[in-house]
Amino acid sequence: MLLKRFESLEDAATSLAAQVSAALAEAVSVRGAASLLVPGGRTPAAMFRELRRHPIAWDRVSISLTDERWVPPHHADSNARLVTTEMLAGFAAAAKFIPLYNVAPTSAQGALAAWRALAEMPRPFDVVVLGMGDDGHFASLFPGSPGLEAALDPHAAAACVPMRAPRRRTIGCR
């Protein structure tokens, strides 16, 4: 394991954005397309703002989320809203964004639709950025949540599952 320490969030964001853009540019060069999955939450916004300044072939990059709260995209808690407002500007405005939230009546049905939407992305995923919440959750996989064991099952047919987070419903994708 390589541990990197940074003096500030901005320094970390600059370093991560450079690594992500280099990996995406390499994927576009080799395969003609690239895929990027990102988290929501508070901390990735600085990296998103830095990443959008990198002049790569964004029109060949598909972006989606590692998780999403089951709220419409205009809601303040929406991870899609975070991505569209903080990353999909500048050079990155040309990227294709594939949201997880959809009009399905339940989060369980929505999780299946989200999994089908992710199937549109170039595979294998070129870059997956994961964040971790204060409670140890990542990708909406909350410790002790009902259904966590099933969500972590590598043999499950779909990798997007509805999860019950404290205070809200989410979709997590592994």
pLDDT tens by residue, 52-87: 999 999 999 999 999 998 889 999 999 999 999 999
Q: What per-residue confidence (pLDDT) applies to 2? A: 84
**CATH assignment at residue 95:** 3.40.50.1360
Residue 144 located in a structural domain: no
Residue 119 located in a structural domain: yes
Which residues of the chain fall short of a pLDDT of 70?
Answer: 166-171, 174
Q: What per-residue confidence (pLDDT) applies to 8? A: 94
Q: What per-residue confidence (pLDDT) applies to 167? A: 61
Residue 1 located in a structural domain: no
Q: What per-residue confidence (pLDDT) applies to 11? A: 96
Q: Which structural domain, as residue segments, surrounds residue 116?
A: 9-133
Q: What is the 3-state secondary structure (H, E, C) of 120-141?
A: CCCCCCCEECCCCCCCCCECCE
How far is residue 34's CA from residue 57's CA, in Å, rounded to a whole number? Answer: 9
Residue 157 located in a structural domain: no
Residue 158 located in a structural domain: no
